[in-house]
């Protein structure tokens, strides 16, 4: 699985390079700020999927899936209603933003409008995938996601290469190709579910109360998604207003790096989330707390392992990856990686609250605090701070929210804060400091960028796992790894 994820990451990064070359900085910036809505809206579909998955996981834990058809039908009702609400909102508010706020060259405004409409089509297609995605997660058929991710990145690479063979308005052609990719991925989900999960089929004959219950839960989840979308779009617009579309290209590159760095971590979290929900629903508190702590540490270690070599060698990596580095692209990528490392601790905290079902106050508080990023970003830009300073705000707010989320989990999930500090915070801090010292020294001491990348990367691959073994695992985890190695190699 790790090899497949690394392959997908490499192909995704190369695809971004091809798309940037073919579209150019201006159109790539338009794609990021307008067409990138399809990518940003994945937060919306992810939240809806998480809500549906929670109900499906509880159904499996409580009644072994006997009522799954009813849950699936109720989920479809919720998805169609929310898709309609989203389209209505996007056509009213989104078009207003496009016409009055976004800073786009006048000769590309018509193109931006078309890209916006095609982006909505992609979002709706992805929303229709949500019930199938949630059901596969609930049944823990995780191999599907590994193979499907390879299929998706391969299709996107093909679409990017096809741009070099076409003439005309390439950004519009690219959007139509992405619609085709989204439709093919949906087909793969439907076929897989029909073959692997018997007795569950598309139907709108749902129990009204169950649909309302799922809709309410999904609605609270959507509050967080809306705050994420508002910040993603809002920060992009503020960046666009103060610095122009070229810096939106830098943000687009940073987001591509983020997607690549966190893809493996999200796969691990997705595999663990159904188990966390099921164990909590069964009332097994000790196992629940142990799994939560373990996934928190693993998420941090994976994100840091993949991200730090890029952070230390960002300029050289970007020069290899891109023909032209967008303005402030190096700083954007470096700070985005720091944000990703800190944010890796959020996923396990989030799913523990999902398991309880008591998410109303949690979602309101977290979403409100996160939206403070927008006025703070505007203020620091007004004060003349550089373009990449918006990441300083993101990192500060995200770190503060970890404390807030931890308080909620201690109250509703009975996870002790002292246990979290001992079991997660101290180990990841110790591992980070011990592992990064020598690779960081290489960056300062070695002048040749290629040699620096190779040497610092090799040392990192040795020192970081060694630091994890020495400082970042429990005794039980040490013993489990030793037993696995002995069994695997028959020692």
Q: Is the model's pLDDT at 43 over the cut of 70?
A: no
Would you call 107 exposed, middle or buried from its count of C-beta atoms within 10 A (0-12, 13-18, 19+)? Answer: exposed
Q: How many CB atoms lie within 10 A of CB 187?
A: 11
16 — pLDDT class (breaks 50, 70, 90)? confident
Q: Is the model's pLDDT at 423 over the cut of 90?
A: yes
Q: Give the residue extent of every domain in the chain.
A: 2-415
Q: What is the mean pLDDT of residues 206-218?
A: 81
pLDDT tens sequence across 351-374: 999 888 888 899 999 999 999 999
Buried b / exposed e along 300-318 (16+ C-beta atoms within 10 A): bbbbbbbbbbbbbbbebbb
Give the separation between CA 252 and CA 29, rounded to whole angstroms.
7
Q: What is the pLDDT of residue 301?
A: 95
Nearest residue to 170 (alpha-carbon basis) of 386, 26, 49, 380: 26
Give the separation between CA 419 and CA 297, rounded to whole angstroms.
13
Separation in Å, CA 197 to CA 67, 141, 179, 277, 357:
13, 10, 27, 20, 26
Q: Phi then psi for 244, rounded to 5 degrees?
A: 95, 170
- pTM recorded for the entire structure: 0.78
Nearest residue to 138 (alpha-carbon basis) of 63, 79, 207: 63
pLDDT tens sequence across 426-445: 999 999 999 999 999 998 89
Buried b / exposed e along 59-71 (16+ C-beta atoms within 10 A): bbbeeebeebebb
31-35, 93-97, 244-248, 293-297: which has the minimum mean pLDDT?
Answer: 31-35
238-242, 243-247, 420-424: which has the minimum mean pLDDT?
Answer: 243-247
H or E segment at 465? helix 449-471
Q: Is the model's pLDDT at 195 over the cut of 70?
A: yes
Yes or no: say if 184 and 156 are a contact pair by the CB < 8 Å rule: no
Q: What is the pLDDT of residue 35?
A: 61
């Amino acid at each position: 699985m790790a090899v497949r994820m690394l392959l997908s990451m490499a192909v995704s990064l190369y695809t971004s390079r091809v798309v940037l070359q073919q579209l150019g900085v201006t159109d790539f910036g338009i794609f990021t700020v307008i067409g990138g809505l399809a990518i940003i809206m994945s937060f919306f579909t992810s939240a809806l999927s998480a809500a549906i998955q929670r109900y499906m996981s509880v159904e499996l834990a409580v009644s072994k899936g006997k009522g799954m058809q009813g849950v699936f039908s109720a989920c479809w009702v919720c998805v169609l209603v929310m898709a309609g609400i989203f389209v209505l909102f996007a056509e009213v508010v989104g078009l207003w933003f496009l016409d009055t706020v976004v800073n786009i060259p006048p000769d590309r405004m018509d193109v931006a409008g078309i890209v916006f409409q095609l982006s909505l089509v992609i979002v709706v297609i992805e929303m229709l995938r949500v019930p199938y995605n949630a059901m596969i997660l609930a049944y823990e058929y995780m191999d599907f996601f590994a193979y499907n991710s390879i299929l998706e990145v391969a299709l996107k690479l093909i679409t990017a290469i096809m741009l070099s063979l076409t003439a005309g308005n390439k950004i519009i052609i690219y959007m139509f190709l992405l619609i085709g990719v989204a439709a093919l991925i949906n087909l793969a989900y439907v076929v897989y579910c029909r073959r692997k999960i018997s007795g569950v089929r598309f139907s709108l004959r749902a129990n009204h109360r169950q649909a309302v219950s799922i809709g309410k839960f999904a609605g609270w989840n959507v509050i967080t998604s809306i705050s994420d979308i508002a910040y993603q779009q809002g920060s992009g617009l503020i960046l666009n207003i103060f610095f122009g579309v070229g810096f939106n290209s830098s943000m687009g590159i940073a987001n591509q790096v983020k997607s690549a760095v966190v893809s493996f971590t999200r796969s691990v979290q997705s595999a663990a989330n159904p188990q966390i929900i099921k164990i909590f629903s069964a009332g097994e508190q000790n196992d629940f707390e142990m799994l939560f702590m373990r996934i928190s540490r693993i998420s941090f270690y994976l994100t840091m392992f993949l991200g730090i070599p890029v952070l230390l060698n960002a300029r050289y990596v970007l020069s290899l990856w891109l023909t032209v580095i967008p303005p402030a692209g190096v700083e954007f990528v470096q700070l985005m990686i720091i944000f990703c490392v800190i944010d890796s601790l959020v996923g396990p905290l989030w799913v523990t609250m999902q398991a309880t079902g008591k998410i109303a106050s949690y979602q309101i508080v977290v979403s409100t605090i996160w939206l403070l990023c927008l006025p703070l970003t505007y203020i620091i830009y007004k004060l003349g701070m550089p373009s990449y300073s918006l990441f300083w705000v993101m990192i500060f707010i995200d770190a503060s929210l970890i404390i807030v989320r931890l308080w909620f989990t201690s109250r509703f999930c009975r996870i002790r804060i002292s246990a979290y500090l001992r079991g997660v915070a101290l180990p990841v801090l110790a591992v980070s400091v011990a592992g990064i010292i020598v690779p960081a020294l290489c960056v300062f001491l070695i002048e040749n960028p290629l040699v620096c990348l190779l040497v610092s990367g090799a040392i990192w691959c040795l020192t970081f796992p060694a630091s994890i073994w020495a400082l970042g695992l429990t005794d039980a985890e040490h013993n489990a790894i030793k037993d696995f190695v002995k069994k695997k190699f028959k020692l």
